[in-house]
A and B are shown apart, each in its own frame.
Chain A
Amino acid sequence: MRKLRVLYVTLVFVFLYLPLGVMIAYSFNSSRFSMAWKGLTLDWYVKLFGNTALMQAALHSLLIAALAATCSSILGTLIAMALQRWRFPSRKVIHTSLFVMMMSPDIVIGISLLVLFMALSLPLGFWTLLMAHITLCVPFVSITVYGRLQGFDPHVVEAARDLGAGEYEVFRHVVLPMVFPAVLAGWFLSFTLSIDDVIISFFTTGPTFEVLPLRIYSMVRLGLKPEVNALCAIMILITVVAVFVSQRFLKEK
């Protein structure tokens, strides 16, 4: 029975990791056209860094992810605090909407924002993409931070109030330091969400501002390319690092 369990868990992990491993292995394969092994090479990585369009898209992705993560961390934290500390009309509606947005299929968010941007006649590009990614990330930050706030002793805030702190001081010197690990975790979460997103970006960015997943998407549709293997290998590596770092922040309590 025990052996069976170990075998089962191992099989699921093999299923999850084998394709990734194979792709990483092929990114070092010197054969261009077949999957047959022709020896080790770093050519694809060299080619990758020489591909200016791809590098440009990668820079765009990093820029959007960093900005979206930062804006949504600030916005998400403020919303979480407002929901937790104050009673105001529409509080429940906002709380529910955050859950609904988190569960919404990306395609629904993508087209609804496309319709919004069209209605406002905003040209699709950097700004619309940034707004779309912030919209995608805020609910995740809010819910993470809200969960963290729920676990705290409300007396600490009361004590700060009694000692004369205003709402801003309470936020700056009491709430923020307490939830900071959750905010950082939310930042990393947002960063990965933004870098990973294909569907929402597909609808909300224009030809003037191309991001990495969309670039990969158009390359992948044309068939296997060793440079793409190399690029994907790098992206996996970045994800692994991000996961380790964010787990660190979440664990420190």
Chain B
Amino acid sequence: MKNDGFFKLAVIVGAISWMAIFAFVPNVLVFLASFSSTSSANFIEPGFSFNNYARLMDATHLGILLSSLRLSGLVTVICLVTAYPFAAVLARTPKPLRNTLLLLVIIPFWTNSLVRTYAMTAMLNSSGIVNNVLLALGIIDSPLAMMYTPGAVVLGLVYTLLPFMILPLYAALERLDRRYLEAARDLGASPWRAFWKVVVPLTMPGIVSGCMLVFLPGIGMFYVSDVLGGAKAMLLGNFIRDQFLTTRDWPLGAAASVTLTVLMGVMLLLYWKSAARLGRKEA
């Protein structure tokens, strides 16, 4: 047991320093950068001002921020509404079939999202499958211009992110004790009321984590808006990328990134609150 303390110490020190270097320091640097300014000589000129946050609030930037939040919010709602009944059916399917279906959800979940975004172009292109089918059926006479529209970006984001909504909802719904639902029904609740008053609160952590896993990446996935939206549809992700790589206004990009991080913090708090409330009730 001679090297007992050494191994333990090495692992703990290693873990702490690794987390400090790759998790803590980078975020502090971005946070500091968001208060600094830029100069012709340097990407970042140290300083302290709220200037970048003020610039983020001017008409153009605020417009991008709001449209990005709206787009991603819409995607989140569509995913939630589509995934909830799907996950509910999945959770009630008998065992062997359920595992197969689950595997079928996991495959797109792990498939490269750029590949999946690209696959969407094969559907939406002017000579793509959707137009071909509609033309062949005689529903339209000339191809619809579906690519490079905000609608295409929304569809692309829903397509890539849907499995990220299904899986946490499935986990929550599978854990749901159906006796609670039966009790509510026995006590005279209508199916609708039982759903809102019993099922939704009990699956709230799943709902919140699903929404986080869709909403946050939805804001950042700049390649989806590049490939399907052309130059028109702007996500906050495109904006941040451009500030870092094209415009070279790092402080402004950092401020936008901090805003996104704060948004994530708020959602995480919501998640922990809903999970903690449930934990208390069950205890």
Contact = CB atoms under 8 A, between A and B. Distances in A.
Interface of A: 5, 8-9, 12-13, 15-20, 22-23, 26, 34-36, 75, 78-79, 81-83, 86, 88, 90, 94, 97, 99-101, 103-108, 111-116, 118-119, 131, 134-135, 138, 164, 166-168, 171, 192, 195-196, 198-199, 202-203, 213, 216-217, 220-221, 224, 228-229, 232, 235-236, 239-240, 242-244, 247
A38 to B, nearest CB: 13
Nearest to B1: A166
Contacts of B26: 112-113, 115-116
Contacts of B2: 166
A34 B116 CA distance: 20
Contacts of A100: 23, 264, 268
A171 B7 CA distance: 10
A81 B15 CA distance: 10
Contacts of B220: 105-108, 199
Contacts, number: 218
A102 to B, nearest CB: 10
30 contacts: A8-B86, A15-B159, A16-B105, A18-B129, A19-B123, A20-B108, A22-B129, A35-B122, A35-B127, A78-B14, A79-B19, A101-B23, A105-B216, A105-B217, A108-B27, A112-B29, A115-B26, A135-B22, A166-B2, A168-B7, A196-B114, A216-B115, A217-B114, A220-B227, A228-B118, A232-B115, A235-B112, A236-B111, A239-B107, A244-B103
Contact of A168 (B3, B86, B129, B222): B3
Nearest to B31: A112
A198 B114 contact: yes
A166 B25 CA distance: 33
B82 interface: yes
User: A-side binding surface: helix, strand, loop or mixed?
Assistant: helix
A16 B240 CA distance: 29
B59 interface: no
Given A196-B110, A220-B118, A107 B123 contact: no
B223 interface: yes
Interface in B226-275: 226-227, 237, 240-241, 244, 250, 253-254, 257, 260-261, 264, 267-268
Nearest to A225: B118
A196 B112 contact: yes
